[in-house]
A and B are shown apart, each in its own frame.
Chain A
């Protein structure tokens, strides 16, 4: 039940990821110089590192790394929370239409010719939240006896509908197709401190609400009926968790684009490697998700430098084999074939 051990391991992983993420790039900067820059910006020491290197660290790489941490933590925590309230191991934060809604919002702005404007994240955010709201409205009014299932099915339908509209728009505007694709596959290349500032409040609020549910999510593991007989209101809990996770995820994808796979593999890796109690899964997934996305972004910008590989490609490319490895190792350890 104690999350301390796994949390320490994940924190070490995050520290290494952040240091690598800030040090590695077209200009190599030593970890000492990175630390010195950070400390001087926090007003603790006076750094002897050149102002160019300081600018690279503080104004270019660090916002990107920090944004990667925020997005990775949010997607992983959102995935864990969705898996908890829907009691479905395949649930991810995009289950109820966040990705389709954000994609449609972003596409609308791009085909209207405002691709680099501040309007894009706003449209993506509104699209994401709107899609989940629509899903909920349709799902809750469906099957009363099994509202979980009707909400998930409504999510599938809403996602299909919005994706169809998005695809149609995209095909009607072939000149902008590359931009749309770039956004859909996710990237942190335009990250700035202003993005961090814009996203952080939503993600912090979301993370606080989700972490506060860690025990309730464990109660839900025994099923809705038993949770109810233990005094929990499963539908209310689900609405609260989905609301919080949606707000945070929508904010995250509005600046990063649709980075897939993090919300599935990070929580499951934590479950397999550590414990499946949400008291462990939620906090450890946040830290491990942050580290994972920083490393994925590092690869995304270095493997084909100076070109960038979409980060969503990297998360799946390294995430899937790693996850299969963990799954395999765990099975062997338990003596299963």
Chain B
């Protein structure tokens, strides 16, 4: 299907004898937010990196109908923006300079930014509440601020597709929700298609339209969060028992139950219920 924003077929990535992604096929519709979930080492990052063409792979990846391997680095960078889990942040670089790096795919090899590029980045910094920090060095920012700066750089690419690898892994719960809400607003404003690896299943359920569950390099489930986040499916593929609970307002909460140690009730769960979705009563969602 050519109208998918991202489509991959028979995608396989091998590291020597290890198969990191095994014959994965799937697609992402324009404007959709798809979450990649699964245990550590399930292949989420490798799949995401393959979509950014950073990983040598077999099979095809199509971006807006065009085969990824047929595009130059520059053409690709105008279509796909990729944010790694731990972006390299030169401590001496300022927020403004870092954001301007995002304009690279729109500049000639030896060119420097035009006033138009600077205006675009200034606008992005304003949108992300970073204007006051434009001249600050990256080393002086907090984790939440850095995540916004990295987003600003990715958005400066003006690519319709945003690939985010664990965008919230370094943040506390409050900042995680803030960052994901920001991504959600931005994708609606700018008609972005988002594919992100997410390890927090509760947040994944809250924010994404669809989840791809990976296990041992294989895509084992593909569907709405409610369809994928079922206890038997997760128990089989996450390698640990989990409870999926539903809050009074219908949000899913995925928790790993505490092992019974001192005869505590089996329903005791370590739940981190955040903000407004905190529930008085939770019901099991099998």
**B partners with A:** yes
Chain A residues near B76 (CB, 8 Å)?
Answer: 231
Query: Which of A111-119, A211-219, A309-317 has 4 or more CB atoms under 8 Å from chain B?
Result: A211-219
In the complex, which residue of chain A has the Cβ closest to the Cβ of B80?
A: A229
- Taking a contact as CB atoms under 8 Å apart, the answer to whether B109 and A230 are in contact is no
Judged by a CB distance under 8 angstroms, whether B104 is at the interface is yes
Instruction: Give which listed residue, B54, B102, B112, contacts A215 with CB less than 8 A.
Output: B112
Residues from chain A with a CB closer than 8 A to the CB of B78 are 231
Say if the beta carbon of B231 comes within 8 Å of chain A.
no
Nearest A residue to B76 via CB reads A231
One of B87-95, B174-182, B209-217, B232-240 at the interface: B87-95
Q: Is A47 an interface residue (CB 8 A)?
A: no
Q: Is the CB of B92 within 8 A of A276?
A: yes
Chain A, interface size: which category?
A: 20 to 34
A212-B110, A275-B92, A276-B92 known; A229+B97 contact, CB < 8 A: no
For residues 65 through 99 of chain B, which have their beta carbon under 8 Å from a beta carbon of chain A?
72-78, 80-82, 84, 87-90, 92-94, 96-98
Q: Is the CB of B84 within 8 A of A225?
A: yes
Chain A residues near B80 (CB-CB < 8 A)? 229
B140 to chain A, nearest CB (A): 10
Residue of B nearest to A214 (CB): B112
- The residue in chain A whose Cβ has the minimal distance to the Cβ of B137 is A276
A228: Cβ under 8 A from any B Cβ: yes
A213, A225, A232: the one within 8 Å of B104 (CB)? A232
Among candidates B73, B90, B96, B105, residue contacting A222 with C-beta atoms closer than 8 Å: B90
| A59, CB-defined interface residue at 8 Å | no
The 8 A CB mask of A82-125 against B (1 = contact, 0 = none) is 00000000000000000000000000000000000000000000
Chain B 95-119 residues near chain A, CB threshold 8 A: 96-98, 101-102, 104-105, 107, 109-113
With A231-B73, A231-B76, A231-B78 as known contacts, state yes or no: A226 contacts B88, CB within 8 Å.
yes
Give Cα A88–Cα B90 distance, bound, in whole angstroms: 13
**In the assembly, what is the distance between CA of A142 and CA of B89, in Å?**
29
**How many Å lie between the Cα of A229 and that of B102 in the bound state?**
10
Known: A226-B84, A229-B77, A230-B77. A277 touches B97 (CB 8 A): yes
B133 to chain A, nearest CB (A): 15
**A297 to B257 CA separation, bound complex (whole angstroms):** 73
| Size class of the B contact interface (CB-based, 8 Å) | 35 or more
Nearest chain B CB to A216 CB, angstrom units? 7
Tell me which residues across on chain A come within 8 A of B97, comparing CB atoms.
1, 218, 277
Q: Taking the nearest CB of chain B, how far is it from the CB of A276, in angstroms?
A: 4
- A225 to B77 Cα, complex, angstroms: 12
A221 neighbours in B (Cβ, 8 Å): 88, 90, 93
Chain B residues with Cβ below 8 Å from A230 are 77, 101-102, 104-105, 157
- Nearest B-chain residue to A144, judged by Cβ: B56
- Whether A198 is near chain B, meaning CB under 8 Å from some CB there, is no
Task: Assess whether A233 is interfacial by the CB under 8 Å rule.
Answer: yes
Asked whether any CB of chain A lies closer than 8 Å to the CB of B52, the reply is yes
Within the complex, which residue of B54, B92, B101 is in contact with A219, where a contact is CB–CB below 8 Å?
B101
- Residue on B nearest A216 in the bound complex, by CB: B109
Q: Is A201 an interface residue when CB atoms closer than 8 A count as contact? A: no
Given contacts A228-B54, A230-B104, A233-B73, contact A223 B93 (CB under 8 A): no
22 contacts between A and B (CB under 8 A): A214-B112, A215-B110, A215-B111, A215-B112, A216-B109, A221-B90, A221-B93, A222-B87, A222-B88, A222-B98, A225-B54, A226-B87, A228-B73, A229-B52, A230-B101, A231-B78, A231-B105, A232-B73, A233-B73, A271-B92, A275-B92, A276-B93
User: Interface of B with A (CB < 8 Å)?
Assistant: 49, 52-54, 72-78, 80-82, 84, 87-90, 92-94, 96-98, 101-102, 104-105, 107, 109-113, 157
- Nearest 3 Cβ contacts at the A-B interface: A231-B77, A231-B105, A223-B88
Extra pairs beyond A1-B97, A215-B110, A232-B104 (8, CB < 8 Å): A215-B113, A219-B104, A229-B80, A230-B77, A230-B105, A233-B73, A277-B97, A279-B112
